[in-house]
Amino acid sequence: MCRLTIITTAGRPDEQSLKLAELASQELNAKIIPRQKRSVRKLAEIYDANVIVAGKNRYEYYAKGAEAPFFFHPNSAAFRLKRVDRGEEEPLLTACALQKGDTFLDCTLGIGSDSLLAAYAVGNSGEIIGLEADQNVAFIVKTGMQTYDTSELPLTSYMRNIKVIHANALEFLKKQEDNSFDVVYMDPMFTEVIEESTNFEALRFAGNHIPLTDEWVIEAKRVAKRRVVLKAHFKSDWFERYHFQRDVRLTAKFHYGVYIK
């Protein structure tokens, strides 16, 4: 059973906050609850609900019981793209071998950093679709990608090119034709904690974490035209179990695995 989600505003809402609250209410079919000087934790307890706070310029998502909110910010992707611009290797792009005009399906969008790098690689002629199983996370990331403005203009344009869909990856894959996407990418949430960012921890708490299954891998291989790429903890046996060629990086806590058709 899905937990109720409610929408509220910052303590002293302005006109923009009220507009954002109304938008979230319509998109998520969720009730707006006036803040009335109550804390987010108090509202979550009263309504036994997840809480989305419409602030002055962004949404913050507090899954019930979470200490810190989840929100959209392209920090990680910006840092990684700067390294690419300097000519440094980006393991994800190496594993995916994306070309301009390619189609890329991200089965586990999360905060969207990997899809942002893929959008850079495929350019304006390519297509990026990101799937997110949790409706609230999908809404936060979709809205953020369409409205976040950064001084790094190329990054802004890459974000705008990503189509975010609230969907279970396996159910979505089952509806696709054979060889529908050049690259299919899967990054199931690790049981081991790697990311130290507060926002990644918030996502770990808020997200809908679906374990990798035989059926999911079979469908991904069917839908991919060229390759399937899997990201997993370096201790994972998924690579060997599902016949992915592992890119071993001795100092990395996670590896990429590639299945080439």
Query: Any idea which of 41-50, 178-187, 230-239, 246-255 has the lowest mean pLDDT?
Result: 246-255
CATH of the domain at 191: 3.40.50.150
Strands 224-233 and 254-260: antiparallel
pLDDT for 189:
67
159 in the same domain as 88: yes
Let me know if residue 104 belongs to a domain: yes
Strands 49-54 and 59-62: antiparallel
Inform me whether the pLDDT recorded for 182 exceeds 80. Answer: yes
101 in the same domain as 178: yes
139 in the same domain as 235: yes
Let me know if residue 23 belongs to a domain: yes
Distance CA 130, CA 96 (A): 15
Let me know if residue 70 belongs to a domain: no
Let me know if residue 69 belongs to a domain: no
What DSSP string runs through 84-140? HHTT---HHHHHHT--TT-EEEES--TTSHHHHHHHHHH-TTSEEEEEESSHHHHHH
pTM: 0.92
103 in the same domain as 44: no
Other C-beta atoms lying within 10 Å of the C-beta of residue 109: 30
Q: What is the pLDDT of residues 105-159, one digit of tens each?
A: 999 999 999 999 999 999 999 999 999 999 999 999 999 999 988 776 678 888 9
Domain that holds residue 24: 4-62
Query: Any idea which of 9-18, 113-122, 194-203, 246-255 has the lowest mean pLDDT?
Result: 194-203
109 in the same domain as 51: no
Residue type, 220: A
145 in the same domain as 250: yes
Query: 196 or 108: which carries more pLDDT confidence?
Result: 108
142 in the same domain as 94: yes
Total number of domains in the chain: 2
**Contacting residues for 93 by C-beta, under 8 A, at least 6 apart:** 84, 117, 118, 121
152 in the same domain as 39: no
221 in the same domain as 106: yes
Inform me whether the pLDDT recorded for 64 exceeds 90. Answer: no
157 in the same domain as 133: yes
The two tokens of residue 98 are 């994306």
193 confidence band (pLDDT: 50, 70, 90): very low
173 in the same domain as 58: no
